[in-house]
Each structure stands twice: as C-alpha cells, then as structure tokens.
C-alpha cells in the first residue's frame, strides 16, 4: 500500500515536471530532444500510448501521448490526449498543451477544433468565443472556424447563436456554400423547416451520404411544414440524394405512399435503382403492392433481372393487376432456363391466368412444362387452376383439375373450398379444418361451417362462390339472405355480410347489417363486435353523440366482452378526453 501510494506521488511529480519542460521547449521552437524526451521521428511513443489507452490505463497513456506531441504524430497524439483526459475528467489539463501547439502551428485546424471542444466541455463559453475569434483572425477566409464553432453550438442546443455565427460567415466569406450542413441543422433546430430543407438540399448535392442525416433532422417537422419541405426537395434540378431523403422522410411521417412520388422520376441508373429497390422492399413488407410493383418495374426498365422480374410480377398479382404480371416476368426471360422457369415463373403465370379467368391457358402452360415439375409442384398448380375454374363458374372443371392432380390436391384446402362453394359443408368442414392456411377468409368460413350442424347449405356455398368470383357486394347480399334458411348462424351470417360490405366500401349498407345484429340478436356472440363497428361507423360519419351512446351501451351490456377495452378507448376518443 505504501509503495503504490509513493508511486502515484512520484508519477504525479514527474507529470508536473514534464509539463513545463514540454511547453518551454515547444514555445521556443526548440525541437532538439532533451534527455529522456521524444524525438520528432519517434512514432513508437504514440503507438505505445494507444496500447495503454486500449488497455484502459488512461493515466499512463496520457503521459505518453503528451510526449508524442513532439513527434510527427502530434495531431493524432493530441486527439488521443483529448480522449484520455476526458476519461480522467482532466480536460482542463489539455488546454496549455493545445495553446502551445497552436502557437507552433496556427494553421492546423485540428488543434483549433480540440481547443474549442475542450473549452465547451468545460463550460467556458466566453473563452470558447475568444478562441473562435482568434482562429478567425488567423484564418479570415477559411470557413472551417465558422463550421466548427457553429457545430459545437448546435450540439449544445444553442441554435440561435449558431445561426448568428453562420450569418457572420455569409458576410465575411461572401457566401455559405461550404456551410450548408450547419445552416440546415441550425434552421431545423429553430423550427424553420422549409429553410432547413433548402439548405439540406444544397448539402445533399455536395454530399449524398448525408441523406439519412437530412431525413433524421427533418423528421420532427410538424404537419403544417411538410409541404414546404416537399417543395424544396422536389425543386429542379433533380438531386437523387434529396429525393431519397424525402422518401425516407415520408416513411417517418407515416405517409409512405408519398415516398414513391419522390422516387418515380429519378433517372434510370444504378443509384436510382438502389433507391427503387429499397423502396420496393419496404412496400412489399407493408403489403403496399401497387407501389412495390411500380418501383420494381422501374428497376426492370433500367436493367432486367429474373429475381426482380419475379418480385414485380408477384406484386402485380397482389395489387389486383394479374395481366401486368404476365408482361413483367415473361417465361422467356433472358438468363432463365426451362427448369428454373418451371420452378419460379410458371406458378406466377398460372396464378395470373387463373385470376384473369383463363384456367384453360394455365392448364396448357402446365402441360408444356410438365417435364420439369415435381408432384408437389403439380398439386400446387392444380389448386391455382381450380380457383381459375371457380372464378368463371365451372365447378366441375375445378373439381376435375384437383382430381387429375392426384390425391394430394384432391384432399387439400382448395378441395375444401370447392366443396364449400358447392354447399357441401361436411366435406368442407373436414378439409378446411386440416388446412395450414391462416387467412381471415378461412377463419370466417370455418366459423360458419362450425356453427351450422347440417351437412349441406347451397345458399352459403353460393355466397362464398360469388365472393371468390370477385363480386363482394353480391356475395354479402346472398350471405345476408341465407340467414332465413340458416337461423342457427343468423347473427354470424349478418355480421360477416356486414364485414364484406365494409370491405367493398359500402359503409351505409354495412352499418345497417351491424345494427341488425345488435338489435335483433343482442345476446349473440357477434353483438358486441357489431356494436363496436356500428359506433365506429357513426364516429366516422361525424355523429359523435350517438357513437358515444353505442359505446356506452356496449360497455355496460357486455362487460365481460374482450372488446370492452377497445370500446373504452374509442369512447375516450369520441369524448375528446385523450389527444
């Protein structure tokens, strides 16, 4: 214990002695190595100091960094010294050394930056301001002092002072071309969003890598300022980084669909293609299929790629445009042999043809590629073809398509659906229950067939068939009408029909059915859900008073319902008691 204490004291004394020695020698410009001190060419000191810093021995590292200030590694050594002194909470000890270095080399900006940073860290705002002024005197035409001091002020949330520094730069330098990034940040901090966007745009023209920084800085802009930002980023000439940044911003603002507007007219090149691919990936993940298709199609216009073509075709089908899919990913795509086409492109074509109501064409395609198909692939394609036949109302061909594909296809959920369309509830019940699908459509179908005890219900089948053929409104009407012959599931039938109407944007007729569920089947399992939908519909139509009445009724009538928390939250919104 005694020994270590003595050592610490000795080390301290050595430091005290070493500092004046170092400062004196530098101040006089004497570069001759004294006994035991560094030489200019000695690079080992700096690396030894780095090692000590890496080992967490900050005090020892500080000593060597100080000695290395005499060497050719002076700049790096000073930065190292800044780090270790910060660790030791001795930033003030750095200042005399920096002063000496600046006197020896007033043109070195790193020394000045370290000095400003240290003074700011120590809250010596006045001294920092003086140091900035001295730097300006030594380098009157250099934008660096303005940039560094403005950055420090911005980091300290002193946007107004940073703005004053930048205004001074404009006058002294005759422009602020090199300071656009700092101007952009200062303007954003001051809530001057459009001016900030303008500066960001200029900064992005010089430094495209700042696009994420721009999006981050502008993301807090309020709704009212966003159109101004958009107009700045859309202004000619087109700057790709600015447009990419805007697309990211639109995502952050919760308006990702607008992102495509920022990207769609970019010139077709590798930079734009990267932006389109990024955008498409996000759109696919969020199931915004139309935008995904457009972005991927733009990539294809620049350069064909089988993978992108396949993604574009899938996006087209999912967006409800199966015809486009056939053109986006032709089976004769360059670089794709027949085996790969059968594995990747054929299923998309078969799906598209089925959706277009051309199952016969799909069947012919499958026959043409049969040589490259596995039994599992055949069964999958048969299901798609069967749905194609369903779509054009030929149920016997649909069943035939599944039977021909073998037992696997014939016992699949597709076969279950076809049984349901035919009103064969018994078969539908058995096959649909075994399905691994987790779609909402399947959940509704299962709920209905489980509620009904009979084995046959042609009306119900007809309603689902009409839905599969794309006529949602007629399907809803058929389903609602079937309730008279299927009283055991009347409330569920009405509720489902109401949901289908809402999906088809028939808000009024949907609400009528929700209302009937509540009024005519008040004790059914569907009543709370129907009442919640009814209330939401009233709120959307601006009838807050009646919406509140419905929500109150729901909460008090069905206190055990799992929907009560949602109803309470809706009630808060209707009453205006939460933001």
Spell out the residues 6+ positions from residue 494 whose beta carbon is closer than 8 angstroms to its own. Answer: 480, 483, 513, 516, 517, 521, 526, 530
Q: Does 254 bind other proteins (CB under 8 A)?
A: no
The verdict on whether omega for the bond into residue 237 sits within 30 degrees of 0, i.e. cis, is yes
Q: Does 168 bind other proteins (CB under 8 A)?
A: no
Stretch that binds other proteins, among 140-148, 184-192, 392-400, 446-454 (CB under 8 A): 184-192
CB 469 within 8 A of CB 387: no
Among 42, 60, 87, 125, binds other proteins (CB under 8 A): 125
Give the separation between CA 146 and CA 49, rounded to whole angstroms.
Answer: 32
Q: Does 568 bind other proteins (CB under 8 A)?
A: yes
Stretch that binds other proteins, among 12-20, 70-78, 159-167, 277-285 (CB under 8 A): 159-167
Query: For residue 248, which of 270, 279, 273 has the smallest C-alpha distance?
Result: 279
In the block, tokens 């509704």 appear at 444
Residue-by-residue DSSP string for 509-527: HHHHHHHHHHHH-TTSTTH
Among 20, 140, 220, 320, binds other proteins (CB under 8 A): 220
Q: In the numeric block, which tokens belong to residue 89?
A: 């909470």
Among 83, 156, 343, 549, binds other proteins (CB under 8 A): 156
CB 415 within 8 A of CB 494: no
- Least separation in angstroms between CB 536 and other proteins: 17
Q: Does 174 bind other proteins (CB under 8 A)?
A: no
The phi and psi torsions of 28 (rounded to 5 degrees) equal: -90, 0
The phi and psi torsions of 520 (rounded to 5 degrees) equal: -95, -20
Q: Does 185 bind other proteins (CB under 8 A)?
A: no
Q: Does 539 bind other proteins (CB under 8 A)?
A: no
In the complex with other proteins, the residue whose CB is nearer, 178 or 194, is 194
Give the separation between CA 45 and CA 68, rounded to whole angstroms.
Answer: 6
Q: In the numeric block, which tokens belong to residue 266?
A: 């970019």
Spell out the residues 6+ positions from residue 314 whose beta carbon is closer than 8 angstroms to its own. Answer: 325, 348
Q: Does 556 bind other proteins (CB under 8 A)?
A: yes
Residue-by-residue DSSP string for 31-91: -SPPTTS--TT--HHHHHHHHHHHTT-HHHHHHHHHHHTTSTTHHHHHHHHHHHHHHTT-G
x-or-dash string of contact with other proteins, 20-59, rule CB under 8 A: ----------------------------------------
Stretch that binds other proteins, among 94-102, 187-195, 233-241, 531-539 (CB under 8 A): 187-195
Give the separation between CA 297 and CA 276, rounded to whole angstroms.
Answer: 9
Among 41, 140, 191, 323, binds other proteins (CB under 8 A): 191
In the complex with other proteins, the residue whose CB is nearer, 154 or 390, is 154
- Least separation in angstroms between CB 227 and other proteins: 15
Residue-by-residue DSSP string for 338-379: HHHIIIIIHHHHHHHHHHTT-HHHHHHHHHHTGGG--HHHHH
In the complex with other proteins, the residue whose CB is nearer, 342 or 551, is 551
Among 422, 555, 561, 574, binds other proteins (CB under 8 A): 555
- Least separation in angstroms between CB 282 and other proteins: 23
Among 160, 212, 374, 541, binds other proteins (CB under 8 A): 160
Q: Does 157 bind other proteins (CB under 8 A)?
A: yes
Q: Does 7 bind other proteins (CB under 8 A)?
A: no
Give the separation between CA 476 and CA 501, rounded to whole angstroms.
Answer: 6
In the complex with other proteins, the residue whose CB is nearer, 507 or 572, is 572
Give the separation between CA 164 and CA 129, rounded to whole angstroms.
Answer: 12
Give the separation between CA 102 and CA 124, rounded to whole angstroms.
Answer: 19
Size of the site for other proteins (CB under 8 A): 30
- Least separation in angstroms between CB 579 and other proteins: 4
Q: Does 130 bind other proteins (CB under 8 A)?
A: no
Q: Does 127 bind other proteins (CB under 8 A)?
A: no
Stretch that binds other proteins, among 10-18, 155-163, 367-375, 522-530 (CB under 8 A): 155-163
Among 302, 552, 563, 566, binds other proteins (CB under 8 A): 552
- Least separation in angstroms between CB 573 and other proteins: 9
- Check residue 36 and give left, alpha or beta (phi > 0: left; psi -120 to 50: alpha): left
Count the neighbouring beta carbons within 10 Å of the beta carbon of residue 16: 9
In the complex with other proteins, the residue whose CB is nearer, 127 or 552, is 552
Q: Does 263 bind other proteins (CB under 8 A)?
A: no
Stretch that binds other proteins, among 183-191, 244-252, 271-279, 450-458 (CB under 8 A): 183-191
Spell out the residues 6+ positions from residue 577 whose beta carbon is closer than 8 angstroms to its own. Answer: none
In the block, tokens 């199609």 appear at 297
Give the separation between CA 437 and CA 312, rounded to whole angstroms.
Answer: 24
Among 81, 189, 297, 444, binds other proteins (CB under 8 A): 189
In the complex with other proteins, the residue whose CB is nearer, 161 or 293, is 161
In the complex with other proteins, the residue whose CB is nearer, 34 or 556, is 556
Stretch that binds other proteins, among 59-67, 158-166, 232-240, 332-340 (CB under 8 A): 158-166
Residues binding other proteins (CB under 8 A): 123, 125, 156-161, 163, 189-192, 220, 222, 552, 555-556, 559, 564-565, 568-569, 571-572, 575-579
């Amino acid at each position: 214990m005694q020994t270590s204490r003595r050592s610490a004291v000795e080390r301290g004394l050595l430091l005290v002695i070493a500092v004046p020695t170092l400062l004196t020698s530098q101040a006089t410009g004497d570069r001759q190595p004294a006994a035991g001190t560094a030489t200019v060419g000695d690079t080992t000191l700096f690396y030894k100091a780095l090692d000590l810093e890496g080992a967490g021995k900050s005090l020892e590292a500080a000593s060597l960094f100080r000695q290395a200030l005499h060497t050719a590694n002076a700049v790096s050594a000073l930065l190292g010294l800044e780090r270790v002194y910060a660790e030791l909470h001795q930033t003030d000890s750095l200042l005399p050394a920096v002063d000496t270095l600046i006197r020896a080399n007033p043109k070195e900006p790193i020394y000045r930056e370290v000095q400003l940073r240290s003074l700011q860290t120590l809250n010596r705002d006045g001294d920092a301001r003086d140091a900035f002024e001295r730097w300006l005197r030594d380098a009157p035409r250099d934008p660096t002092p303005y940039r560094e001091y403005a950055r420090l002020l911005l980091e300290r949330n002193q946007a107004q002072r940073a703005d004053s520094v930048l205004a001074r730069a404009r006058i002294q330098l005759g422009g602020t071309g090199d300071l656009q990034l700092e101007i952009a940040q200062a303007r954003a901090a001051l809530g001057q969003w459009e001016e900030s966007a303008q500066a960001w745009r200029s900064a992005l023209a010089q430094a495209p890598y700042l696009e994420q920084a721009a999006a981050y800085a502008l993301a807090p802009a309020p709704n009212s300022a966003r159109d101004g930002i958009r107009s700045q980023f859309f202004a000619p000439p087109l700057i790709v980084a600015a447009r990419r940044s805007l697309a990211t911003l639109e995502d952050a603002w919760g308006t990702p669909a607008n992102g495509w507007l920022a990207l769609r007219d970019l010139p077709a090149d590798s930079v734009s293609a990267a932006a389109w691919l990024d955008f498409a990936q996000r759109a696919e993940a969020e199931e915004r299929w139309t935008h995904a298709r457009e972005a991927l199609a733009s990539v294809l216009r620049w350069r064909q790629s089988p993978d992108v073509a396949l993604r574009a075709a899938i996006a087209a089908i999912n967006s409800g445009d199966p015809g486009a899919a056939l053109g986006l990913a032709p089976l004769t795509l360059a670089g794709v042999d027949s085996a790969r086409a059968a594995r990747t492109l054929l299923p998309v074509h078969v799906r598209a043809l089925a959706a277009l109501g051309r199952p016969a064409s799909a069947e012919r395609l499958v026959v043409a590629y049969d040589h490259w198909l596995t039994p599992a692939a055949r069964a999958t394609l048969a299901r798609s073809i069967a749905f194609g036949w369903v779509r054009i109302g030929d149920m016997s061909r649909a069943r035939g398509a599944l039977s021909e594909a073998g037992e696997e296809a014939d016992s699949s959920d597709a076969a279950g659906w076809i049984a349901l369309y035919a009103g064969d509830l018994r078969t539908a019940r058995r096959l649909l229950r075994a399905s691994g699908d987790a779609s909402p459509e399947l959940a509704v179908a299962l709920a209905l067939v489980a509620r009904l005890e009979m084995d046959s219900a042609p009306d119900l089948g007809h309603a689902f068939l009409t839905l599969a053929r794309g006529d949602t409104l007629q399907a809803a009407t058929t389903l609602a009408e079937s309730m008279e012959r299927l009283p055991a599931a009347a409330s569920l039938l009405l509720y489902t029909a109401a949901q289908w109407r809402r999906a088809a944007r028939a808000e009024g007729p949907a609400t009528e059915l929700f209302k009937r569920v509540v009024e005519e089947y008040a004790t059914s399992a569907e009543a709370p859900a129907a009442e919640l939908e009814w209330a939401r519909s009233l709120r959307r139509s601006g009838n807050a008073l009646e919406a509140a009445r419905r929500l109150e009724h729901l909460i008090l009538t069905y206190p055990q319902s799992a929907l009560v928390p949602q109803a309470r939250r809706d009630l808060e919104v209707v009453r205006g008691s939460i933001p």
